[in-house]
A and B are shown apart, each in its own frame.
Chain A
């Protein structure tokens, strides 16, 4: 994913293995989400998919989130084929935290779960089944918004041409690890204002990789004062769209021609 070794950005601070092979791992980047990370982890524990791993990338949090996550994993160690916490030496941002998750894991399917969000119990089993039967590179579902705003998300079927209109697919998706590697992982955008996931979907589209959408409410997206949707991302909308256009001229040109 990078010319340097991404794993060198951090070190393992907790690891346990129950043996057996999980096909799916939940990758949870964590930066100062002590208030919510246990909810996120609890939703992973409650998955109806029997074999499952989890990897937390503590992006140099300054709160107690890392310790709380460790304590939780110790209590629920039996639930996971493998559980691991990697702590970055320095804060690297969301994109590189996810890339660390990719680098430190070996499961063929990775679910990107932000530490303030939650999964519904059948999420991973249904998304996994969708990838297996479709052969797509990633699977995603409709979202429920909760927190400061309640509602239903904007996700819809995979149509690469639509990406030039807006970012209608959230980061919460089950992604084939080999597709992530083929795309070079998540990019850090110019001013770090978010939308790394949008950029990834655009690169998938350019590579001819496909997504598959399940029209079911399988993931909960928390809307709150600190969430990317509500603050930085929206404020910088025009600049981000311009950057996307610059990064993916082919996709955006196709839109202009229609």
Chain B
């Protein structure tokens, strides 16, 4: 840990130097950016030093396994607590059994708090430097020169959030000039690519024909893009494949760090803003979205970027998510306030994936958010990750103000500046203040504006793809 801290101290010095030269956009800046990123990766590998040998060492190094949780979550097993570890190592892991809990993840993250904070700070500074450097940093050049061909895979049967993430990654790579196509589980398994990125492996290798691709997960050139939180059974389902993958992208900073402890090669990647992507563009006509059929405003064309005024957003609060007890409690708590405002709840059973066919449809999320003053982010579990689809894509990119259940943080975005947090018990008071007082509406307006500005500059796709492109080039030994 001391070595890690000294690496981070050195990294902070480099970042400080980067800040001083921030306005002198130059190749030197780009070089510093790359050097600093390499230092982060080196530090991360040291952190997971114990986890390079056996599978057992990797599992123990990761710290996620909990014998108590394993016995509780697998009631079909006739084993005692002291037998849990052996059962998991010798069979349960391969059977994709659940093995951890929010409490274990919380304890682990508490242990990792200092390096995580440092990494978040460094990544933020580096992204700011990368943004200042703009197009002069061309990390994609080596991949283009080599003629690299990439396929981004996503299950056709899964949650529509995953499709959005896959689209953005593919479009981002294409915008960098890299030959990229999209595929699903029905594709020809022998189709040649230099790199294959599998978005949401917990869905892809599980649903439909995806099971037939399991062996490809560990093949050279395969990249698994984890978007699931470690405390969930879905993450556990993908975990054995993640352990074998040559390279992992992870949408959450925290789970990326946990996977590094298991000896995985991981790059944190939150899809960046891509102005040409349809998810980031105005959606003027929403009359075809079934949810809007009963609303007169849905028949009026509306371009929020042409007239970005808070008062013209007819939905006061929007929540889209799967049913969970703590979400139920909160939405009910907001009911009295909802009598005076327009609160929309697009709320489904967790067992029914939010697929594109299911009425709410994919585009409803971002098209409706363009017409919402507030996008509400409520975590499924008490331990809440930075939920990119709801906070960034539905919130920041669409000009809405995100009000969130407190959760783990992410680089670039700051609570209180780019989004607002409040304990669920009191979230109604915050929403009431934001909607019904002059000061509150001013804060609401400033927050959403600041978030959009931040997301479309420092959070741009070009900047966020930098570390990914570097890792992909390394995977191809370029």
Q: Could you say which of A120, A126, A150, A213 contacts B291, with CB atoms under 8 Å apart?
A: A213
Shortest Cβ gap from A143 to chain B (Å): 11
Q: Could you tell me if B290 and A157 are in contact, using CB atoms closer than 8 angstroms?
A: yes
Instruction: Fill in one digit per residue for B195-219: 1 if any A CB lies within 8 Å of its CB, else 0.
Output: 0000000000000000000000000
Which residues of B sit under 8 angstroms from A215, Cβ to Cβ? 291, 344-347
B288 at the interface (CB under 8 A from A): no
B335 at the interface (CB under 8 A from A): yes
Q: Do A216 and B328 contact each other (CB < 8 Å), given the known contacts A133-B295, A154-B349, A156-B359? A: no
Which residues of A sit under 8 angstroms from B295, Cβ to Cβ? 130, 133, 214
Shortest Cβ gap from A195 to chain B (Å): 20
Shortest Cβ gap from A100 to chain B (Å): 28
Which residues of B sit under 8 angstroms from A131, Cβ to Cβ? 294
Which residues of B sit under 8 angstroms from A134, Cβ to Cβ? 293-294
Which residues of B sit under 8 angstroms from A157, Cβ to Cβ? 290-291, 293, 359-360
Q: Could you tell me if A156 and B348 are in contact, using CB atoms closer than 8 angstroms?
A: yes
Instruction: Fill in one digit per residue for A130-173: 1 if any B CB lies within 8 Å of its CB, else 0.
Output: 11011010010010100000111010111100000000000000
Q: Which B residues from 333 to 361 make CB contacts under 8 A with A? A: 335, 338-339, 342-349, 359-360
Q: Could you tell me if B329 and A120 are in contact, using CB atoms closer than 8 angstroms?
A: no
Which residues of B sit under 8 angstroms from A41, Cβ to Cβ? none
Q: Which A residues from 203 to 217 make CB contacts under 8 A with B? A: 212-217
Nearest A-chain residue to B318, judged by Cβ: A215
Q: Could you say which of B296, B328, B345 contacts A150, with CB atoms under 8 Å apart?
A: B328
Main secondary structure of the interface of A (DSSP, over half): mixed
B331 at the interface (CB under 8 A from A): yes
Which residues of B sit under 8 angstroms from A130, Cβ to Cβ? 293-295
Q: Which B residues from 285 to 337 make CB contacts under 8 A with A? A: 290-291, 293-296, 299, 323, 328-329, 331-332, 335
A159, A213, A214, A215 pick with most chain B CB within 10 angstroms: A215
Instruction: Fill in one digit per residue for A15-36: 1 if any B CB lies within 8 Å of its CB, else 0.
Output: 0000000000000000000000
Which residues of B sit under 8 angstroms from A150, Cβ to Cβ? 328-329, 332
Number of interface residues of A (CB under 8 A): 28
Q: Could you tell me if B323 and A139 are in contact, using CB atoms closer than 8 angstroms?
A: no
Which residues of B sit under 8 angstroms from A144, Cβ to Cβ? 332, 335
A129 at the interface (CB under 8 A from B): yes
Q: Could you tell me if A216 and B299 are in contact, using CB atoms closer than 8 angstroms?
A: no
Bound-state CA distance A142–B344 (Å) is 9
Number of interface residues of B (CB under 8 A): 25
Nearest A-chain residue to B299, judged by Cβ: A133
Q: Do A133 and B296 contact each other (CB < 8 Å), given the known contacts A120-B339, A121-B339, A151-B328? A: yes
Q: Could you say which of B293, B296, B345 contacts A152, with CB atoms under 8 Å apart?
A: B345
Bound-state CA distance A184–B233 (Å) is 49
Shortest Cβ gap from A136 to chain B (Å): 7
Nearest A-chain residue to B338, judged by Cβ: A217
Main secondary structure of the interface of B (DSSP, over half): mixed
Q: Could you tell me if A142 and B328 are in contact, using CB atoms closer than 8 angstroms?
A: no
Q: Which B residues from 437 to 467 make CB contacts under 8 A with A? A: none
Q: Could you say which of A152, A154, A156, A212 contacts B294, with CB atoms under 8 Å apart?
A: A212
Bound-state CA distance A67–B348 (Å) is 41
Q: Which A residues from 110 to 137 make CB contacts under 8 A with B? A: 120-122, 126-127, 129-131, 133-134, 136
Bound-state CA distance A121–B347 (Å) is 22
Which residues of A sit under 8 angstroms from B291, Cβ to Cβ? 157, 213, 215
Q: Could you say which of B296, B345, B360 contacts A216, with CB atoms under 8 Å apart?
A: B345
Q: Could you tell me if A152 and B290 are in contact, using CB atoms closer than 8 angstroms?
A: no
Shortest Cβ gap from A119 to chain B (Å): 10
Which residues of A sit under 8 angstroms from B348, Cβ to Cβ? 156
Which residues of A sit under 8 angstroms from B338, Cβ to Cβ? 120, 216-217
Shortest Cβ gap from B38 to chain A (Å): 48
Instruction: Fill in one digit per residue for B263-300: 1 if any A CB lies within 8 Å of its CB, else 0.
Output: 00000000000000000000000000011011110010
Nearest B-chain residue to A159, judged by Cβ: B359
Shortest Cβ gap from A141 to chain B (Å): 9
Shortest Cβ gap from A179 to chain B (Å): 16
Bound-state CA distance A133–B292 (Å) is 11
Which residues of B sit under 8 angstroms from A214, Cβ to Cβ? 294-295
Q: Do A142 and B296 contact each other (CB < 8 Å), given the known contacts A120-B339, A152-B331, A157-B291? A: no
Which residues of B sit under 8 angstroms from A152, Cβ to Cβ? 323, 328, 331-332, 345, 347
Q: Could you tell me if B293 and A136 are in contact, using CB atoms closer than 8 angstroms?
A: yes
Nearest A-chain residue to B298, judged by Cβ: A133
Which residues of B sit under 8 angstroms from A120, Cβ to Cβ? 335, 338-339
Nearest B-chain residue to A139, judged by Cβ: B294
Bound-state CA distance A216–B319 (Å) is 10
Q: Could you tell me if B294 and A213 are in contact, using CB atoms closer than 8 angstroms?
A: yes
Nearest B-chain residue to A220, judged by Cβ: B335
Q: Do A142 and B345 contact each other (CB < 8 Å), given the known contacts A150-B329, A152-B331? A: yes
Which residues of B sit under 8 angstroms from A133, Cβ to Cβ? 294-296, 299
Nearest B-chain residue to A123, judged by Cβ: B339
Q: Could you tell me if B335 and A217 are in contact, using CB atoms closer than 8 angstroms?
A: yes
Q: Could you tell me if A136 and B294 are in contact, using CB atoms closer than 8 angstroms?
A: yes
Q: Which B residues from 365 to 414 make CB contacts under 8 A with A? A: none
Bound-state CA distance A215–B329 (Å) is 17
Q: Do A217 and B345 contact each other (CB < 8 Å), given the known contacts A134-B294, A144-B332, A150-B332? A: yes
Which residues of A sit under 8 angstroms from B344, Cβ to Cβ? 215-216
Bound-state CA distance A142–B294 (Å) is 13
Shortest Cβ gap from B337 to chain A (Å): 11
Shortest Cβ gap from B435 to chain A (Å): 15
Which residues of B sit under 8 angstroms from A126, Cβ to Cβ? 294
Nearest B-chain residue to A155, judged by Cβ: B347
Q: CB within 8 Å of A: which residues of B? A: 290-291, 293-296, 299, 323, 328-329, 331-332, 335, 338-339, 342-349, 359-360
Known contacts A129-B296, A134-B294, A156-B359; 18 further A-B pairs (Cβ under 8 A) = A120-B339, A133-B299, A139-B294, A151-B328, A151-B332, A152-B323, A152-B328, A152-B332, A212-B293, A212-B294, A213-B290, A213-B291, A213-B294, A215-B344, A216-B344, A217-B332, A217-B338, A217-B343
List 15 contacting pairs A-B, 8 Å CB cutoff, sorted by A: A121-B339, A126-B294, A130-B295, A136-B293, A150-B328, A150-B329, A150-B332, A151-B332, A152-B331, A156-B359, A157-B290, A157-B291, A157-B359, A217-B331, A217-B338
Q: CB within 8 Å of B: which residues of A? A: 120-122, 126-127, 129-131, 133-134, 136, 139, 142, 144, 150-152, 154, 156-159, 212-217
Q: Which A-B residue pairs are the 6 nearest by beta carbons?
A: A130-B294, A157-B359, A212-B294, A157-B290, A133-B296, A215-B344
